[in-house]
Amino acid sequence: MFVSKLALCLFLLFKFAIGEDPYRFFDWTITYGKINPLGANQQGILINGQFPGPDIYSQTNDNLIINVHNNLPDPFLISWNGVQQRKDSWQDGVHGTNCPIPPGKNFTYHLHLKDQIGSFFYFPSLALHKAAGGFGGIRILSRPMIPVPFPDPAGDFTVLIGDWYKTNHKKLQARLDRGIRLPPPDGILINGRGPNGASFTVDQGKTYRLRISNVGLESSLNIRIEGHYMTLVEIEGTHTMQSIYDSLDVHLGQSLSVLITADQAVKDYYIAVSTRFQRQVLTTTAVLHYSSSKQPVSGLPPDGPMNIDYSLIQARSFMTNLSASGPRPNPQGSYHYGSITVTRTIRLANSAAIVNGKKRYAVNSVSFVDPDTPLKLADYYKINGVFNLGGITDYPTDAALHMDTPVMDSDHHAFVELVFENREYWVQSWHLDGYSMFVVGMDRGDWSTGNRTRYNLLDAVPRCTVQVYPQSWTAVYVALDNVGMWNLRSETWERRYLGQQFYLRVYNPVNSTRNELPMPGNALLCGRAAGKSTLI
């Protein structure tokens, strides 16, 4: 009797230890369809008929099996902003890692949400598809046994904010192909809706979570709620110190969660979203609707902040709650990024220039050109001439901008200080696939080694996407422990499309599935890898 119970216990322990994580299956059909978020009919990208696409609800360690059927007449890929895809850049869904899904074909992504929680989003990564939709929210909940540092909210809303053009995405793309900058956006959408189109219903006295992501193309945004404060609780998968804000800046590609309590008189209130750091401020509103309210929104929505220093001070106030739960980089919860020796410093400066009469953007003077074969496949099959390994320096050069397809190499296990240096007058937003970067410092002016003395080495928030203010710098620490080929890109879509990106190859000479998962059996082959065997 005792023995069999013990055996059962051991069996359960064993099963728990090696048991497979749960699976969730998604079947998505991608089509063009008519949408009119700003009153004009335009061609949108729909997922299962929806704009924006469906939210992905998931839990730490889930396996997401997402079968994407491309019914567009164009090649298509989806990427997962902030989902780390441990050891598996094969699933990243950007041009450098995956062949486009051809028209009429499908591809099944296998995402393993290893040790992650938080709020993220997905988006279409090719061409200017993002200007037509195809994006949606991703939420990764903590497992039931893991305490969350705030009570369960009465409701949990996805709030996708982003600037928007009424112009067809192919026209916008053609304009960039001619080397002409995008015009200012026509408006801002909240969950795919124009002014007061989106409404969030709350009961008086209850508390709600909003998961806010900037899914736009060109604009940093500010969000605020008439008559209500927001308590920041999570940034891109980290539980933060719960500070209170009356407005929050969300830069391109960033995500965060706030709690709001419906503690005001019963009526409707504006949720206002405006562009930041632009001469002409665009504002839109959604409605916070108290369930028994009969009084619609009225008057003017609350004004947003104006200056850059306000945003900088706010950004510096974000801190990790070190005593709160949450999957942290290994070993769980005991990660002291501030006491690890930096093994390499990489300084990256963005720039712009006119090349042959066309606008181009660059990182350390190199403007990225999409190759004919995904870099990941070229690397795997050892196809020469697709990319230039080491074709980008670790520091800004004064060289004239030139075009290339650079890949930066790094050893697996390097611990890197990355400094983003912005000498231009535009705010920048940088994203690194596959990783979280500890945002240890940012300031106006030029970065100098002396600035290291004031880095936050204790409770900086790790992020997948960081902003760099105009004529400013941002420094991050990142442990390059995720083997693969990873896109480091501007989240300003015009800049990315016209060259402000490259790939980071995190390499381990030992070919082992402990370091990197093998090429999936369903991998699509194209370019110079077409016709190769997937069973190398």
Ligand X SMILES: *[C@@H]1O[C@H](CO)[C@@H](O)[C@H](O)[C@H]1NC(C)=O
72-111: which residues touch ligand X (CB under 6 A)? Answer: 106-108
Binding mask 35-74 for ligand X (x = CB under 6 A): --------------------------------x-------
Residue 324 touching ligand X (CB under 6 A) = yes
Identity of the residue, 241 or 281, whose beta carbon is nearer to ligand X in the bound complex: 241
Residue 343 touching ligand X (CB under 6 A) = no
C-alpha span between 169 and 476 (Å, rounded): 33
Bridge-based pairing of strands 283-290 and 199-202 is parallel
Smallest distance from ligand X to CB 313, Å: 12
442-461: which residues touch ligand X (CB under 6 A)? Answer: 443, 448, 450-451, 454
- 58 bridge partner residues: 140
CA distances from 116 to 9, 28, 246, 330, 453 (A): 28, 23, 28, 12, 31
Residue 317 touching ligand X (CB under 6 A) = no
C-alpha span between 441 and 113 (Å, rounded): 28
Among 4, 292, 323, 334, binds ligand X (CB under 6 A): 323
Identity of the residue, 299 or 521, whose beta carbon is nearer to ligand X in the bound complex: 521
- Euclidean distance between the first and final Cα of the chain, in Å? 52
Identity of the residue, 106 or 142, whose beta carbon is nearer to ligand X in the bound complex: 106
Identity of the residue, 204 or 242, whose beta carbon is nearer to ligand X in the bound complex: 242
Binding mask 259-278 for ligand X (x = CB under 6 A): --------------------
Binding mask 211-250 for ligand X (x = CB under 6 A): ------------------------------xx--------
Smallest distance from ligand X to CB 521, Å: 9
Identity of the residue, 451 or 471, whose beta carbon is nearer to ligand X in the bound complex: 451
Identity of the residue, 36 or 243, whose beta carbon is nearer to ligand X in the bound complex: 243
C-alpha span between 105 and 283 (Å, rounded): 39
Identity of the residue, 67 or 71, whose beta carbon is nearer to ligand X in the bound complex: 67
Smallest distance from ligand X to CB 497, Å: 27
* Joined tokens for residue 483: 């083997």
Smallest distance from ligand X to CB 243, Å: 7
DSSP 310-378: HHHHHHHT--B-TTS----SSSTT---GGGSPP-EEEEEEEEEEEETTEEEEEETTEEE---SS-HHHH
Residue 262 corresponds to which amino acid? A
C-alpha span between 262 and 266 (Å, rounded): 9
Q: What is the dihedral of CA 428, 440, 502, 411, to 10 degrees?
A: 180
For binding to ligand X (CB under 6 A), which residues are involved? Answer: 67, 106-108, 149, 241-242, 321, 323-324, 441, 443, 448, 450-451, 454, 511, 522, 536
